[in-house]
Amino acid sequence: MPGQIRGVIVTLQEIADRLGCELAGGGDIEITGVAGMEQAAPTELTFLANPKYAPKVKNTKAAAILVSEALPSQRPVSVVSRNPYHDFARALSFFYQPPKLAPGISPQAAIAKSASIAEGASIAAFAVVGENVVIGRNAVLHPHVVIYEGAQIGDDFLAHSHAVVREFCRIGNRVTLQNGVVIGGDGFGFAKTSEGRHFKIVQSGVTVIEDDVEIQSLTSIDRATAGETRVKRGAKIDSLVQIGHACVVGEDNIICSQTGLAGSSILEKNVLLAGQVGVSGHLTIHENAVVYAQSGIGGDVAAGAVISGSPAFESREWLRAITAFPKLPEILKSMRQLEKRVRELEKRGLDETASNPE
């Protein structure tokens, strides 16, 4: 596996013990890595999280497999887990760790004298930390990260190259910003003058990112015109997502790539937005709602709803509608033929009545 820690060999029993799993034999088998079922080598561990992929188990070369129930076969050896996918993710760290920056602050980093950086920081060359910035313990700033004046950042912050945190924004603990993320860029706000020109509205608010949030590459979380834009605890936001000014992204939300939230969109907790969803703004998507890919949201979404389409509506109805959609030309043709036939029958009936008066 690329990036694998060289020479790491862990017995299957040790893996089971560290994960808190039950092992159906084979504890002395030596494991050198983890991989998907189709890619796994004879000395690797794999997983089965979705029962629909169970037929593939017979073809895997893996030595062992994380499963929710023990398999009848002896190979691959079953490692019984309450959550196979989660334990697979945990097992990855036994064999792979990303490269780490050297501890300390590079002399080529630009750190304002008024900035406060707690112990344990690793700040690379060409990173920039502005005036009156406060950064907590164990921060990692890769090259070309820029932290503007007055930003406040908690412990265990990780920012990859070209991530930017704008002025006075606030970030909690254990937040990760992937490459090119912009936190607190100006919201898209303009007022039209009497001459018909666009006057820029000062974006005086901030963006607040709570604890345990991860934001993927090239995503923008705009600052509010006034007040704040907020991403709540545990939310995970994919690459190429746009969060407009004064939005609220709820706890443990998942927002997938190329999704856009117009200003003042409110997402409650555990909302899932699949890829390329568009949210028109000034609305609320209530907790536990699921929105399928490429849906367009123009109004509030009820708690627990599963919706699709543009404009979006209940997903099962949408599936029936989309199944009928390719048949619409044929249905229209049939309707026109039926209408013609009805007119002919009506005309014949009138003609017969006229020729046979009582």
d(CA 17, CA 34) in angstroms, rounded, equals: 16
Let me know: does 164 contact 148? Beta carbons within 8 Å. Answer: yes
Sheet holding 206-209, edge to edge: 116-117, 134-135, 152-153, 170-171, 206-209, 228-231, 248-249, 265-267, 283-285
- Which alpha helices (DSSP H) does 225-267 contain, by range? none
Which of 309, 315, 314 minimizes the C-alpha distance to 297? Answer: 309
Q: Is 245 a catalytic residue?
A: yes
d(CA 67, CA 18) in angstroms, rounded, equals: 16
What is 336-349 written as a DSSP string?
Answer: HHHHHHHHHHHHHH
Strand, coil or helix: what is 310? coil
Q: Alpha carbon 255 to chain centroid distance?
A: 4
Of the residues 144, 160, 245, 286, only one is catalytic, namely 245
Which of 212, 210, 253, 255 minimizes the C-alpha distance to 230? Answer: 210
> 73 burial class (0-12, 13-18, 19+ CB within 10 angstroms)?
exposed
What stretch of H or E contains 147? strand 146-147
What stretch of H or E contains 328? helix 328-355
Q: What is the DSSP letter of 276?
A: T
Compute how many other C-beta atoms are within 10 angstroms of the C-beta atom of residue 128: 17
Catalytically active residues are 245
